[in-house]
Amino acid sequence: MKITLTLNGKKTEAEIRPDMLLIDFVRQQGCSSVKRGCETANCGLCTVFMDDQPVLSCSVLAARADGHRIDTLEGLQEEAEEFGAFIAGQGAEQCGFCNPGMIMNAIALFREIPEPSVEEIQEYLAGNLCRCSGYEGQLRGILDFIEYRKNGGAR
């Protein structure tokens, strides 16, 4: 079956199998930030935006993306760069495997709630599996980033 979608701002047409998952499709298109983790929609490593909403690409058929806009971390580099560098500078990333999914969900959080509470941050992080840190580093990093932005980018 043929699908047409916008992937990271570029119109993309492809012939796919009807049972192909969105994670496999975007990785096939070169989007290596989208990672395969649990394959049960529990870890957040495969998070992409479909029409600006975070979805777990391991649980969405590629055919459902037909006619939609899909963004991966590769397409959101400008938006993600400052936050990703800030988190890395804070040492909140440890091994880094969960970072792309965590950054995608942080972007969704900041878009929806520019100054989130601790509880709101924890709610957004709950869908991301991090076996290294127990989320304390990411939580601290997000809170520090919010403070950094409030101060106009001054540390």
Domains of the chain, start order: 2-73 (3.10.20.30), 75-150 (1.10.150.120)
Residue 153 and residue 155: Cα distance in Å, rounded?
7
Q: What is the pLDDT of residue 154?
A: 60
User: Helix, strand, or coil here: 5?
Assistant: strand
Q: Which amino acid is at 149?
A: R
Tell me the average pLDDT of the chain. 89
pTM passes above 0.75 = yes
pLDDT under 70 in the chain at which residues? 92-94, 133-134, 153-155
Question: Which residue reads 């540390």 in tokens?
Answer: 155
Q: Give, in order, the Cα–Cα distances in Å from 101 to each of 14, 27, 64, 96, 98.
A: 25, 14, 21, 10, 6
CA atoms within 13 A on the CB side of 60: 21
**Phi, psi angle pair for 9, to nearest 5°:** 85, 0
Question: Which residue reads 């983790």 in tokens?
Answer: 37
> Could you tell me whether strands 2-7 and 10-15 are parallel, antiparallel, or unpaired per DSSP bridges?
antiparallel
Q: What is the pLDDT of residue 55?
A: 95
Question: Which residue reads 């969405």 in tokens?
Answer: 60
In the numeric block, which tokens belong to residue 64? 């459902």
Contact 106, 49 (CB under 8 A): no
What confidence tens digit (pLDDT) does each residue in 27-60 have? 999 999 999 888 788 888 999 999 999 999 999 9
Q: What is the pLDDT of residue 93?
A: 67
